[in-house]
Chains A and B, each alone.
Chain A
Amino acid sequence: MQEVLVIFFIVFAIVYLGKKVFYWLKPKEDTCEACAFGKATKE
């Protein structure tokens, strides 16, 4: 059971980081939503 949980967390972390990298690098509209750490636009 512990092994299954570990695999789940590792896969989850890798997918999350991969998505984050793609999010940063993909072209975006001209709004300040682009920044992950800066101000975010609230709609």
Chain B
Amino acid sequence: MNVNKIALVGNPNTGKTSLFNALTGLNQQVGNFPGVTVDKKVGKLKLQNRSIEIIDLPGTYSIYPRSKDEEVVYDILSNPQHVDFPDVVCVIVDSSNLERNLLLFTQVYALAIPIVLVLNMSDIAFRKGKKIAIEKIREQFPEANIIETNARIKLGVKKLIDILEKRINPRNDVPKALISKSDVIAQQQDTENKFQEINELVKSCVVQDSSLKTRHKVTRLDRLFVHPIWGYSIFLVVLLALFQLIFTLASFPMDLIDTLFGSLSAYLHGILPAGMFTELLANGIIPGIGGVIIFVPQIVLLFFFIGILEETGYMSRVVFIMDRIMRPFGLNGKSVVPLLSSAACAIPGVMASRTISNWKERLITILVAPLMSCSARIPVYTLLISLVIPNRMVFGFLNLQGLTFFALYALGIISALLVAVVLRMFIKTKEESVLLLELPDLKSPRWKNVGITVFDKARLFLVGAGKIIVAISIVLWALGTFGPTERIQNAVQKIEKPINKNEVQLAAYEKQVNAVKFENSYIGILGKTIEPVIKPLGYDWKIGISLITSFAAREVFVGSMATIYSVDADGEETRSLLEKMKQEKNSDGQPVYRLASGLSLMVFYVYAMQCMATFAVVKRETKSWKWPIIQLLYMGVMAYVSSWIIFQIFS
């Protein structure tokens, strides 16, 4: 038969995405906890003279859906008219746990769609001393193709491709219709019957060979990781070490990049003919790009360490222990993955909430997810910490800047939990979802996967956010360079010209003229208009402008500051942004960036929903404008009030 479309289905964490990557040559993110794939992913398996479409579907334990992501599987397989209805279904099962995995296979088999049973993770079954008698399974399911694989190392993948290309068994049996989504009792009965059949089958086809069973050396370590006291202590130490390392290791490449871009601006000023485009390039585009690239070392380090934690299986233990912490706050176990994902980016976090079957619980998770500090906040936190927190050690071994970084992340997590408690008072839920989590074996990381994660995140940061930052830098440069001519002329005329035209006096005059021109530019007028609103928080109008532009994305804050301070730099391009900001003074002579205003700004960025893309995704996931607007408002009010309190306390 001619196969054009193949669907990959299976329980969560059975290696579907690994197999998808092996078949298509793509590099989709794989994970070892549920919720990594919450939507279908499509790729092409290229054969000699044609290609087959491969659809990777979200993991599900049964064909009968309990959550939005599981519905995707039911909707596609129950409807032959569906645009994604496959010619062949590959059911991927974890060979070491056939008892549970075969349920989905038996349900899909009953649909009479040509089917391949992929006995994946054969290495783990082997390590656990399990031998599978494939002929016994074949006797019971004669129409299915059956193959053993280990997708992680691409073992059996060639054979699978060969089957898909040439040797698929056609189905001649009559399909059984699926029970309707709403008939839960009939589904339950059907599931129980199937489990009885599966238990009989597993008894006959799985042989436990005690000579093959290797002793699990990691069991003791595992007990520590999920221990009610040691588990949390270890997690705390891991997080502290992570932030310390990020801060310490990233400082050298960051300083280097900062100096390079400062010098590049000055160099361009020197070699290009004087004019407007040179100004745009040296004071707008170059500082804007520099403002993005400088944070790549930190993003790379963060995702490198997170990648290692995920790959070793430690993150699954974190999900497990966090489930225990979150319950008293009214967040159920399934909220853990979306919230932890939000620590990288709120968008996949909000989307991972699709695994939560109860709508109200899902809504609460979506509403608090952006409070977790995402990677876009790293540039903002780093810049502000470097400005106002001294670089010294506390307790002899902890760097104060790294500790502040950790505290900001902790503030985000604690606030998300507290807001969830408050939201539950208004959004009442009757039933609670439970987290079903399989702890994968602890293992050494696969460096290729870590590398893919790091590369993807760095690319997304550079290309995704970078383009927006550069575009905003250009607009900001224009707004800072131009202004109402008459207003600028009047303001300049008010400055006293030096009587003795010596160099020092002329330079001082030029500096004053530039400052006045900048203050009367369009950006200056806009900034001065909003200044009264943000002054109680300790911010000046330049920060106000960056607060507005960073609504597009938080990391835009740094690019905007770089451009604003470049336009206002009086030809001192070689100074780094940090130096320019450190020397910035208020009208009363006090530094703009002191401890009070710096902390206030950091807290503002912990709470404010400064992300257009998250706003759009929340609108899409909740299918209304109401919830993203409520989220924007409550987070905005929290940000304003908390920042004001912090500023008052530290002033």
A-side contacts of B278, CB under 8 Å: 2
In contact, A6 and B347 (Cβ under 8 angstroms) = no
In contact, B39 and A16 (Cβ under 8 angstroms) = no
- What number of residue pairs across chains A and B have CB atoms under 8 A from each other? 96
Chain A interface, number of residues (Cβ within 8 angstroms) = 30
B-side contacts of A37, CB under 8 Å: 345, 347, 376, 460-461, 464-465, 553, 613
The answer to whether A14 and B475 touch (CB under 8 A), given A21-B612, A41-B41, is yes
Across the interface, A6 reaches (CB within 8 A) one of B28, B280, B348, B468, namely B280
Within A1-43, the residues touching B (CB, 8 Å) are 1-3, 5-6, 9-10, 12-14, 16-17, 20-21, 24-25, 27-28, 30-32, 34-39, 41-43
Across the interface, B474 reaches (CB within 8 A) one of A10, A27, A35, A42, namely A10
In contact, B613 and A36 (Cβ under 8 angstroms) = yes
Task: Report how far A17 CA is from B285 CA in the complex, Å.
Answer: 15
In contact, B39 and A36 (Cβ under 8 angstroms) = no
Within B362-378, the residues touching A (CB, 8 Å) are 376
Question: Which of A10, A31, A39 is the most central at the interface, judged by chain B CB atoms within 10 Å of its CB?
Answer: A39
Within B34-78, the residues touching A (CB, 8 Å) are 38-43
**Nearest CB of A to B456, in Å:** 8
Task: Report how far A2 CA is from B617 CA in the complex, Å.
Answer: 40
In contact, B277 and A6 (Cβ under 8 angstroms) = yes
In contact, B617 and A16 (Cβ under 8 angstroms) = no
B641 at the binding interface (Cβ < 8 Å): no
B-side contacts of A10, CB under 8 Å: 474-475, 478
Q: Does more than half of chain A's interface fall in helix, strand or loop, or is it mixed? A: helix
**Nearest CB of B to A16, in Å:** 5
**Nearest CB of A to B630, in Å:** 17
Task: Report how far A25 CA is from B474 CA in the complex, Å.
Answer: 23
A-side contacts of B276, CB under 8 Å: 2-3, 6
Across the interface, A38 reaches (CB within 8 A) one of B28, B348, B478, namely B348
In contact, A38 and B277 (Cβ under 8 angstroms) = no
In contact, A32 and B39 (Cβ under 8 angstroms) = yes
A-side contacts of B29, CB under 8 Å: 39
In contact, A39 and B464 (Cβ under 8 angstroms) = no
Nearest CB in chain A to that of B376: its residue? A37
B26 at the binding interface (Cβ < 8 Å): yes
Question: Which of B40, B278, B347, B616 is the most central at the interface, judged by chain A CB atoms within 10 Å of its CB?
Answer: B616
Across the interface, B43 reaches (CB within 8 A) one of A14, A17, A30, A43, namely A43
Task: Report how far A14 CA is from B471 CA in the complex, Å.
Answer: 7
In contact, B467 and A16 (Cβ under 8 angstroms) = yes
Task: Report how far A20 CA is from B465 CA in the complex, Å.
Answer: 11
Across the interface, B26 reaches (CB within 8 A) one of A28, A30, A31, A42, namely A42
**Nearest CB of B to A32, in Å:** 5
Task: Report how far A43 CA is from B474 CA in the complex, Å.
Answer: 33
B275 at the binding interface (Cβ < 8 Å): yes
The answer to whether A13 and B376 touch (CB under 8 A), given A2-B278, A42-B41, is no
**Nearest CB of B to A7, in Å:** 9
In contact, A41 and B471 (Cβ under 8 angstroms) = no
**Nearest CB of A to B243, in Å:** 22
In contact, A13 and B347 (Cβ under 8 angstroms) = no
Nearest CB in chain B to that of A29: its residue? B620
**Nearest CB of B to A39, in Å:** 6
B168 at the binding interface (Cβ < 8 Å): no
Question: Which of A12, A16, A37, A39 is the most central at the interface, judged by chain B CB atoms within 10 Å of its CB?
Answer: A37
B104 at the binding interface (Cβ < 8 Å): no
The answer to whether A9 and B553 touch (CB under 8 A), given A27-B620, A31-B40, is no
The answer to whether A17 and B471 touch (CB under 8 A), given A6-B280, A38-B351, is yes
Nearest CB in chain B to that of A10: its residue? B478
A-side contacts of B26, CB under 8 Å: 42
B472 at the binding interface (Cβ < 8 Å): yes
**Nearest CB of A to B523, in Å:** 13
The answer to whether A41 and B39 touch (CB under 8 A), given A10-B478, A13-B471, is yes
Nearest CB in chain B to that of A38: its residue? B347
B-side contacts of A41, CB under 8 Å: 39, 41-42
In contact, A16 and B613 (Cβ under 8 angstroms) = no
Task: Report how far A19 CA is from B347 CA in the complex, Å.
Answer: 20
B615 at the binding interface (Cβ < 8 Å): yes
B-side contacts of A12, CB under 8 Å: 471, 474
Task: Report how far A32 CA is from B376 CA in the complex, Å.
Answer: 19
Within B514-560, the residues touching A (CB, 8 Å) are 552-553
In contact, A31 and B478 (Cβ under 8 angstroms) = no
Task: Report how far A39 CA is from B351 CA in the complex, Å.
Answer: 10
Across the interface, B347 reaches (CB within 8 A) one of A14, A21, A28, A35, namely A35
Nearest CB in chain A to that of B278: its residue? A2
Task: Report how far A10 CA is from B276 CA in the complex, Å.
Answer: 12
* A12-B474, A17-B468 given; 15 more Cβ-contact pairs under 8 Å: A3-B276, A6-B478, A13-B470, A13-B475, A24-B615, A28-B620, A31-B39, A35-B617, A37-B461, A37-B553, A38-B345, A38-B460, A39-B28, A39-B347, A42-B41
- B residues bordering A, Cβ < 8 Å? 26, 28-29, 38-43, 273, 275-278, 280, 285, 345, 347-348, 351, 376, 460-461, 464-465, 467-468, 470-472, 474-475, 478, 552-553, 612-613, 615-617, 619-620
